[in-house]
Structure 1
């Protein structure tokens, strides 16, 4: 008798988080993530038939009453969080290219961690209470280039964020916990507005004095790196001579236009190598470098290892 295919049950986000989190300390020996989040204030949104549930599959409020240490393995979600009370230290694991980062978290702090970011965390003052939202790369990865440059974590505080962010934050958990179907749409829209506002604040702070033509050219490279960009075409579209474009861009940004564009492309390539099964040739084409050999040489010069070696190292 011919047997049909064996259908595997999709792994739930609750199972993923239980596998990825490892606790120790007074409040953590032998417990699972779902034990700490087993509270009406935290929900796992397993109903993937609703598109917007997939965009924010889990989140809510978590509190550690006693000191705790934990590590989290890499997960295929972005993590957005803000601290309500207490303090702690979060340190990323780093990889073959990225050095570890360490941040002190205090009340009023906000953080966005890119997907596939492993880290360890320990409380320094308890109770430590925070609100966290696991975000799908399907929808929210578009914010990473603006907030998590070079795959680094985004960390800010109340004094640096726009007021609109703080007006929205209290409503996020309310919409997350609501049973109303429209709440999923509201939650996605509000999180998008929060991240957009944070990105706008960061952009305004980092590029306050760029000439308009330099800012425009930088934006083109940041958002449309997959296409070729000639100086002749930029000269025509921006109405500025190619000599002035090169001179002003290098003077303001610190590197020539082509070098900056290649940096953006290589950053995008690292994400594709970590998160997709595209071949090296396909990754090269996807980031706008048609010559695969040239792509491999650029990548090795930038990262110190080949794209294949980088992909293999990210699997461990």
Structure 2
């Protein structure tokens, strides 16, 4: 289908909008800006479009907007962010009597789709940050830094913009999934479990063992360990087994069976299937590839 758009551009005179044309080099190497701006948009401001090859991030500073996307409607207030794929149908508009004040960026690049898929894994293109600190939020600050690069671009601008966009995409994931925590906020028992899994990864520790040892419900253990360590405990344990097996495949002459036993897996066929699932190739192919480098 062809791209189409309908819109009403009722934004204030102090609003900003920059439209960029990227070079082939920029499209191959970088995350890059297609359009970027800051709007104070009054009723009847709206945009309705479909089939635009672009991703859009919009961050609300004040006022209220509405987003309709993938069959659902979302109300947007100060501190709210949405991240959408503009190939899909979208409609967004001002709904408050006061102007809808926002930062926004249309962007593209080789890995943006992967960030978008990760962002959308909980099913929602919107998340809510603290409205009281919306102007101090790192998302807003990065978007402001990107805006400041636009009026007088030079040979460094594409490089600088790409770094900032990568920072922005990471910040979206950190905040949406509450990963913007300090090390001191990690519960001590989570660190103890991590250390136990790393030291005893050969033993095949179960959730029931962890529940009994730490007197905490296993479902809570999975939830909190996943939040702070990035993987559930059992997956974390498997990752340690696979990492150790990689070292043995690279630097030892142990057979595949001996390596399987060394990491605590008695069934060699199961180890080979697990390794291929996690690494993408079989243990023997991995050994051949690494030794051939």
Give the shorter-chain TM-score range. Answer: 0.5 to 0.7
Q: Secondary structure of 1:50's match?
A: helix
1:305 is aligned to: none
Structure 1: gaps of 5 or more residues? 1-15, 29-34, 95-99, 217-233, 262-287, 290-316
1:41 is aligned to: 17
Structure 1 residues 1-316: aligned runs within 5 Å: 19-23=3-7, 41-51=17-27, 55-94=32-71, 100=72, 102-114=73-85, 116-124=87-95, 125-136=97-108, 138-157=110-129, 158-159=131-132, 163-201=137-175, 202-204=177-179, 211=190, 237=201, 240-242=204-206, 244=208, 252-253=221-222
Q: Secondary structure of 1:204's match?
A: coil
Separation in 1, partners of 2:107, 2:119: 14
Structure 1 residues 4-61: Cα deviation after superposition (integer angstroms, max 9, x where no partner): xxxxxxxxxxxx8xx332236xx68xxxxxx99xx96321324333346663222223
Number of positions where the alignment pairs a residue of Structure 1 with one of Structure 2: 211
**TM-score normalised over the length of structure 1:** 0.50
Separation in 1, partners of 2:121, 2:86: 13
Structure 1 residues 229-282: Cα deviation after superposition (integer angstroms, max 9, x where no partner): xxxxx997586514648987656458xx99x99xxxxxxxxxxxxxxxxxxxxx
Q: CA deviation at 1:205?
A: 7.4
Separation in 1, partners of 2:205, 2:70: 45
The alpha-carbon distance between structure 1 residues 109 and 71, as it changes in their structure 2 partners (threshold 3 A), is: same
Separation in 1, partners of 2:57, 2:107: 7
1:221 is aligned to: none
What CA RMSD, in Å, does the superposition of the two structures yield over aligned residues?
Answer: 4.4
Structure 2: gaps of 5 or more residues? 212-216, 224-230, 236-276, 279-293
Structure 1 residues 198-234: Cα deviation after superposition (integer angstroms, max 9, x where no partner): 3223233799769469899xxxxxxxxxxxxxxxxx9
The alpha-carbon distance between structure 1 residues 40 and 132, as it changes in their structure 2 partners (threshold 3 A), is: closer
CA contact (8 A) 2:32 2:165 kept: no
Q: CA deviation at 1:126?
A: 4.5
Separation in 2, partners of 1:75, 1:160: 32
**TM-score normalised over the length of structure 2:** 0.53
The alpha-carbon distance between structure 1 residues 159 and 44, as it changes in their structure 2 partners (threshold 3 A), is: same
Q: Secondary structure of 2:141's match?
A: helix
1:310 is aligned to: none
Q: CA deviation at 1:119?
A: 2.0
